[in-house]
Amino acid sequence: MKILIVGSGGREHAIGWKLSQDSRVKKMYFAPGNGGTAAIGENVNLSVDSIDDLLAFAEKNNIDLTIVGPELPLTLGIADKFKAADRRIFGPSQHAAQLEGSKAFAKDFMRKHGIPTADYNVYTDAEEALRAAENAKYPLVVKADGIAAGKGVIICENYALARDALEGMMNAKRFGAAGNTVVIEEFMRGTEASVLCFTDGKTMKPMVAAQDYKRALDGDLGLNTGGMGSVSPAFAFTEAAESVFIKTVMNPTLAGIANMDYKGVLYFGLMINGSDVRVVEFNARFGDPETEAVLLRLKTPLLDIIEAVCAGELDKVDIEWSDNPAICVVAALDGYPGKYKTGLPIEIGDTDGVQVFHAGTALKDGKTVTSGGRVFAVSAMAESLDAARCAVYNALENITYEGIKYRRDL
């Protein structure tokens, strides 16, 4: 079987690594891939948003299955285009991807289907939004409706900050068209957990939960990032929380997506407070860096699950997980999530016992160099979290490049 994986992060390397263990997989292509995916497949120089070119590549090379990593191609309708051309693809339709692509769409979906989430209102008029913020309780959360590279959510402690956030989004267009519409919502307290679910639109099967460490610095300080690491299981996602999640969140969501042509992964960002489980956000894809920890724990062949999803037969597979915990620590570049230097040489020494998933790396004259803010996702599973953590931090000691930076408190 020939597989095309769209994306270039640690997530895509982890998906490819898992599939590379399957003898049915004869060849993998990554578009555009990174320095690590080049070792397990072939990188194709196509960007994730060049949908027509990706389809033409899949047709020309007789790709049997395309797996979409990031949200951008999904929100641009890659799944619809591939399906119209009779090409098998793992990822939701453009309509369904609005669950991630538009916060107003996601919140209205939750309200309609009775899914617990923060109270909210949607605004397209700046004056009206400012008046609402003036009379609101604080802290208050202001969100740009569209995709804003993870920066479109601002938690405001007081009206002055909310006013700056709203004016920046709606008048100064800090996030372009993504801020034409805003969501203003109540601040939720609790602990977050990410629960990624496989779904074919009729059946939904949760993966083991993970906790994402979003802040740049130890102690959950510093700026929000794409994710500096993850741990699975997520300790806030207790058995009690899980049964509340299934009943009040997952099942109503499944009912809501019934007519949306959803075949892929639906990611629930949850806020958990005892047995109170509410949705912070949906993503229409595998999470990054959750995937780099979660897939280590998957015992069932990933290809079996993905093929069942595409065939609408997810009910027929039993998905098995290891009881062992897993951890992923992201090695970033100094400066990330702001400005950083790229093109720096990398030396990798002994990394036995861990998986070194590449993210922001590239090959230059046969050598691996840095190419993005998050360089590696180093992951391990072991009988205890301490043992897994120890293996990852030992391996990180043997990865060398200028400006290496990672959290030491996971």
Site residues, ligand GLY (CB under 6 A)? 212, 227, 283, 287-288, 290
- Beta carbon of residue 230, minimum distance to ligand GLY (angstroms, whole number): 7
CA 123, 127, 129: angle at the middle one, nearest 5?
35
219/236 Cα distance (integer angstroms): 17
Give the residue closest to ligand AMP by C-beta: 281
- Beta carbon of residue 380, minimum distance to ligand GLY (angstroms, whole number): 19
381/230 Cα distance (integer angstroms): 12
Q: Considering CB under 6 A, how many residues would be counted as binding ligand AMP?
A: 10
69/8 Cα distance (integer angstroms): 8
- Beta carbon of residue 330, minimum distance to ligand AMP (angstroms, whole number): 16
185 binds ligand AMP (CB under 6 A): yes
- Within residues 280-299, the interface with ligand AMP by CB under 6 A covers 280-281
152/353 Cα distance (integer angstroms): 38
Which residue(s) pair with 232 in the sheet?
326
156 binds ligand AMP (CB under 6 A): no
Closest CB to ligand GLY among residues 73, 227: 227
Reference 32, options 52, 60, 13; nearest CA is 13
Helix pair angle (103-112, 94-101), 10° resolution: 100
**Which stretches of 7-102 are DSSP H helices?**
10-19, 51-60, 71-75, 78-84, 94-101
Closest CB to ligand GLY among residues 80, 290: 290
122/142 Cα distance (integer angstroms): 10
> Which residue bears the tokens 């196509």?
46
Closest CB to ligand GLY among residues 283, 371: 283
Give the residue closest to ligand GLY by C-beta: 287
From the list ligand AMP, ligand GLY, none, pick the one residue 227 interacts with, judged by a Cβ distance below 5 to 8 Å according to partner type.
ligand GLY
116 binds ligand AMP (CB under 6 A): no
Closest CB to ligand GLY among residues 206, 287: 287
Cβ neighbours, 10 Å, residue 79: 28
Q: Peptide bond before 92: cis, by omega within 30 degrees of 0?
A: no
5, 141, 204, 362: which one contacts ligand AMP (CB under 6 A)?
Answer: 141
118 binds ligand AMP (CB under 6 A): yes
- Beta carbon of residue 13, minimum distance to ligand GLY (angstroms, whole number): 15
187 binds ligand AMP (CB under 6 A): yes
> Which residue bears the tokens 């020309």?
60
Maximal CA-CA distance, the chain: 61
From the list ligand GLY, ligand AMP, none, pick the one residue 16 interacts with, judged by a Cβ distance below 5 to 8 Å according to partner type.
none
Which residue(s) pair with 3 in the sheet?
28, 65
- Beta carbon of residue 270, minimum distance to ligand AMP (angstroms, whole number): 10
**Residue numbers of the site for ligand AMP (CB under 6 A)?**
118, 141, 153, 185, 187-188, 192, 269, 280-281
